[in-house]
Amino acid sequence: MAAPSTSPSLPPSLADAVRDDASLRRFLHGLPGVDQVGVEQRAAGLGTRSIKKASKLWAIDAAIGMVDLTTLEGADTAGKVRSLCAKARRPDPDNPDVPRVAAVCVYPDMVATAKQELDGTGIQIASVATAFPSGRSTLKVKLEDTAFAVESGATEIDMVIDRGAFLSGRYGQVFDEIVQIKHACGDAHLKVILETGELATYDNVRRASWLALLAGGDFIKTSTGKVSPAATLPVTQVMLQAVRDWHTATGERRGVKPAGGIRSTKDAIKHLVAVHEVAGPEWLNPHLFRFGASTLLNDLLMQRRTQLAGHYSGPDYVTVD
């Protein structure tokens, strides 16, 4: 097993976990099980919080600032990426005070186009890599995929884990892969996609979260958006618990990114409530929490207009993507 490239000062218990395959397995299987009923009930409870008026406006602006505006279609063209970047810079041209989104997320071959458009704006360029979305390829190809994206100018890499290896219990292999990709990323931030829709249980989500954190992922991300169910509130909550516990153990804050399936402002605000209550207010920040989304942004903008104008808005008043 390769040594993790980050966190050289892991506390003894965690340093022990990554010593070899067997201890990694022992550590992951020693994690406390997730109380399924409890976590779903808590998520449903937090979802009933009523966020109104000034708090709602704040939440909408915060959520816009946390959006990774995403286009991951086979039909993507340079033109589409350019218009997406324009939207990222100025989400609502009628209201220049709308904050910019956190990042634009594209396939590696579109990174150069996005970089041209976003240079100097402070908007991050995220690229999926490692044979997204299935992750079914050789490590060599995945590393080259990553290196290509980074060379083209990506500042954040969204990698997928090998779910086949994870589900067959080959944790060491998954760990090594993340460590090597992290190394290939250089200065770019690494987001590790767990694809929770394929992990079947909350226990597996917790294990995969810890595995990714131990291997040096800067963010843990729920899904590719290509598998249903994608990001659900309870899953996000389990992952938020993992980063909170990581912070308790190491003093270091890592991020969470739910992606896929969050389409309405209401969903986004429910997630923000969960972030505040489960991880803590420090996580309400684009450096530590992101939404992977495309249609969500339009709904946020419509809700923002509704809040400010005092009447309901409609899709005719936001861009068609």
> What is the C-alpha to C-alpha distance for residues 49 and 31, in angstroms, rounded to an integer?
30
Residue number, 68 or 299, with CB nearest to another protein: 299
Among 135, 312, 320, 321, binds another protein (CB under 8 A): 312
Residue number, 50 or 248, with CB nearest to another protein: 50
Decide if 257 is catalytic. Answer: yes
Decide if 270 is catalytic. Answer: no
At CB < 8 A and 24+ separation, what contacts does 246-251 make?
246/210, 246/213, 249/11, 249/13, 249/14, 250/7, 250/9, 250/10, 250/11, 250/14
The beta-strand segments (E) located in the chain are 67-70, 103-106, 124-128, 156-160, 189-193, 219-221, 255-257, 291-293
Ramachandran category for residue 122: left, alpha or beta (phi over 0 → left; psi -120 to 50 → alpha): left
Is residue 317 close enough to count as binding another protein by CB under 8 A?
Answer: yes
Residue number, 140 or 311, with CB nearest to another protein: 311
DSSP-assigned states of every residue in 178-211:
HHHHHHHHTTSEEEEE--GGGT-SHHHHHHHHHH
* Least distance in angstroms from the C-beta of 94 to another protein: 12
* Least distance in angstroms from the C-beta of 317 to another protein: 6
Decide if 158 is catalytic. Answer: yes
* Least distance in angstroms from the C-beta of 309 to another protein: 8
Residue number, 102 or 318, with CB nearest to another protein: 318
Residue number, 9 or 95, with CB nearest to another protein: 95
* Least distance in angstroms from the C-beta of 305 to another protein: 8
Tell me how many residues contact another protein (CB under 8 A). Answer: 9
In the range 281-310, which residues lie near another protein by CB under 8 A?
A: 305, 310
Residue number, 134 or 313, with CB nearest to another protein: 313
Which range in 91-99, 100-108, 208-216, 312-320 contacts another protein by CB under 8 A?
Answer: 312-320
* Least distance in angstroms from the C-beta of 61 to another protein: 20
Tokens read off for 202? 């909350």
DSSP 3-state percent helix, strand, coil across the chain (nearest 5): 55, 10, 35
Tokens read off for 291? 């939404």
Tokens read off for 136? 């079914």
Q: Which of the following is catalytic: 221, 267, 270, 299?
A: 221
Q: Which of the following is catalytic: 257, 267, 270, 299?
A: 257
* Least distance in angstroms from the C-beta of 298 to another protein: 12
> What is the C-alpha to C-alpha distance for residues 5 and 234, in angstroms, rounded to an integer?
30
Is residue 50 close enough to count as binding another protein by CB under 8 A?
Answer: no
Residue number, 33 or 93, with CB nearest to another protein: 93
Unique residue bearing structure tokens 């969903």? 267
Residues 6+ apart with CB under 8 A from 242: 206, 209, 210, 213, 220
Cβ 162 vs Cβ 135: under 8 Å? yes
- Nearest to 236, CA basis, from 252, 263, 253, 257: 257
Half-sphere exposure of 102 (CA within 13 A, CB side): 24
* Least distance in angstroms from the C-beta of 312 to another protein: 4
Is residue 314 close enough to count as binding another protein by CB under 8 A?
Answer: yes
Among 74, 138, 228, 316, binds another protein (CB under 8 A): 316
Which range in 18-26, 133-141, 271-279, 311-319 contacts another protein by CB under 8 A?
Answer: 311-319
Start-to-end CA distance of the chain, whole Å, equals 44
Among 313, 319, 320, 321, binds another protein (CB under 8 A): 313
Catalytic residues, by residue number, are: 158, 221, 257
Contact positions toward another protein, by CB under 8 A?
305, 310-317
